[in-house]
């Protein structure tokens, strides 16, 4: 009799679920049996907000606008991420408007910063509670005194994962835009034709790539290729780690692939982005962040 009662109860439960749209009811064993042929509803990923209300930027000299205005100096006014200069039309201005950008965007990037510095920057950015954080870092991990002391890929990954974890510990819903590391070898090939630029390079700008700029021997080319390969590996890490976070968008190597010309390079060092180059970075970021699909 108990078995028969259990079968009747189960049949009634299934009928009720079909007719009433009920999620289920408890069977004799305390569980909720689902009708045959049905599948569990897939969990939808969070919707990407294409118009966030605030923005914090972390990273290195590129985001600080280094050498874009005066020699060997930061110029955050023309930063692609948070600048106010109308010639750049920064990401913050495009997303928030000029007035709101002045009060709801913050730049925590530091010239010379490497990936190991990102967790601390993320902590500072998180304190502001931004709805979007932009990340552009990695060039200085490859731009070292020599190719032999570049940041290892394993350390680069561990530091980026720590930075993301730092952000997520306090801001689980904040969106993150990650820009790829630029093509350093292309910057070398563009800037080496300028005599002034090469003199500035001797002051210590990216020695692993730019030292002895006119040296085209096999050893020099192997050195530059090894730096370039490390940049490619860094970008793969950025892509992989970002892909694990549903609220993170990688630029799909858009910055790396962009063919920066002399007009987009600082005329102080022929390596960092000029004001025009900063504008191009802002355009790339805005296009990626406001796209309906990543």
Q: Do 82 and 9 belong to one domain?
A: no
Q: Which residue range(s) make up the domain with 113?
A: 55-289
Length of the chain counted residue by residue: 294
List pLDDT tens digits, range 25-40. Answer: 334 444 444 455 555 5
Q: Do 31 and 140 belong to one domain?
A: no
Diameter of the chain measured on Cα atoms: 97
Strand order in the sheet with 105-107: 105-107, 55-59, 132-136, 175-178, 248-250
Q: Do 145 and 71 belong to one domain?
A: yes
CA distance linking residue 158 with residue 135, whole number of Å: 16
Domain containing residue 232: CATH number: 3.40.50.1110
Q: Do 29 and 60 belong to one domain?
A: no
Helix (H) or strand (E) holding 250: strand 248-250
Q: Do 137 and 227 belong to one domain?
A: yes
When pLDDT is cut at 50, 70 and 90, the band that residue 119 belongs to is very high
List pLDDT tens digits, range 203-259. Answer: 889 999 999 999 999 999 999 999 999 999 999 999 999 999 999 999 999 999 999
Number of domains in the chain: 2
Is the separation of the CB atoms in 113 and 137 below 8 Å?
Answer: yes
Is the separation of the CB atoms in 164 and 249 below 8 Å?
Answer: no
Q: What does each C-alpha distance from 78 to 70, 98, 164 come to in angstroms? A: 12, 13, 26
Q: Do 162 and 195 belong to one domain?
A: yes
């Amino acid at each position: 009799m108990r078995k028969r009662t259990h079968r009747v109860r189960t049949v009634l439960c299934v009928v009720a679920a079909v007719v009433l749209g009920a999620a289920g009811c408890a069977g004799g064993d305390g569980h909720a049996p689902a009708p045959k042929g049905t599948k569990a509803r897939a969990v939808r990923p969070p919707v990407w907000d294409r118009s966030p209300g605030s923005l914090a930027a972390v990273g290195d000299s590129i985001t600080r606008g280094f050498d874009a205005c005066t020699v060997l100096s930061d110029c955050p006014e023309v930063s692609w991420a948070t600048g106010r200069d109308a010639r750049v039309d920064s990401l913050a201005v495009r997303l928030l408007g000029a007035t709101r950008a002045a009060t709801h965007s913050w730049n925590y990037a530091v010239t010379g910063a490497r990936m190991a510095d990102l967790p601390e920057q993320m902590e500072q950015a998180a304190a502001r509670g931004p709805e979007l954080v932009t990340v552009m870092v990695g060039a200085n991990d490859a731009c070292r005194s020599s190719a032999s002391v570049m940041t290892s890929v394993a350390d680069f990954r561990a530091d980026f994962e720590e930075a993301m974890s730092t952000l997520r510990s306090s801001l689980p819903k904040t969106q993150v835009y990650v820009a790829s590391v630029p093509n350093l070898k292309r910057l070398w090939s563009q800037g080496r034709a300028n005599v002034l630029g090469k003199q500035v390079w001797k002051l210590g700008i990216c020695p692993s790539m730019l030292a002895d700029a006119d040296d085209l021997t096999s050893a020099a080319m192997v050195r530059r290729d090894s730096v370039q390969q490390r940049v490619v590996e860094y970008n793969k890490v950025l892509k992989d780690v970002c892909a694990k976070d549903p609220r993170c968008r990688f630029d799909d190597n858009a910055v790396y692939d962009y063919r920066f010309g002399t007009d987009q390079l600082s005329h102080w060092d022929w390596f960092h982005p000029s004001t025009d180059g900063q504008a191009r970075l802002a355009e790339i970021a805005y296009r990626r962040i406001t796209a309906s699909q990543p």
